[in-house]
Amino acid sequence: MSTVPFSATSRDTTGKGVARKLRAAGQVPAVIYGHARQPQPIALDHHKLQLLLEKHPYQSTVIALDIDGKTSNTLIREIQRHPFKKQIVHVDFQELVAGEKVTVRVPIHFTGTPEGVRLGGGLLDQVLHELEVSCDPSNIPGHISLDVTALGIGQSIHAGEVPLPAGVSLHSTPDATVCVCAAPRVEAEPAAGEAGAGEPELIRKAKADESAEAK
């Protein structure tokens, strides 16, 4: 489990006007909620939050959120972004409770070179890059390793076939395709009579022939 510390400040006021002022001041309005607490409005530093999101997969990273000196382990559940600006406009945090399972998205790390790629010139098509799993907050894996070495051309691996760490159960659809080793693409040969289709027209030669006939 990866845990990252981050600081936030509580705020007493809410509303669109307050949110606009926070964003103009380089802050991001946010809220932290949980089954044992009332939703609490907070504010985050926009630049520091962007740096955190660039370095860590937030779906599976526990954020140790320090709010005015009190720390709570949380997960980011939703990030709202501006439709065309590089701006985060709101974040939802869920407080984690030990012993209470959570559902998270964990990235898949593919290892090995498929047999179909190595021997048959095939291509590995990665359909899913993450799996949705359920586990205790203290047992969230940083990633899930999937060895694709034995995968031949035309063969695939589904979510239900991916080995998971102890204490982690699959929440994604078991039949969902994770990856497939596709056959190599073969370019079609040009049909008979089309070999010279791309050659440029010899305009000058044609004009010379016409002049000779006219004489």
> Which homologous superfamily is 2-96 in?
Ribosomal Protein L25; Chain P (2.40.240.10)
| Domain 103-182, CATH number (from 3.30.70.20, 3.40.225.10, 2.170.120.20, 1.20.1630.10) | 2.170.120.20
Per-residue pLDDT of the chain (215 residues; tens, 9 = 90+): 678 999 999 998 888 888 999 999 999 999 999 877 789 999 999 999 999 999 988 888 999 999 989 999 999 999 999 898 889 999 999 999 878 899 999 999 999 999 999 999 999 999 999 999 999 988 899 899 999 999 999 999 999 999 999 999 999 999 999 999 999 877 656 655 555 545 544 445 444 455 445 44
Domain ranges of the chain: 2-96, 103-182
Residue 197 carries which side chain, given as an amino acid letter?
A
Start-end of H helices in the chain:
16-24, 46-55, 115-118, 203-214
CA distance 137 to 170: 15
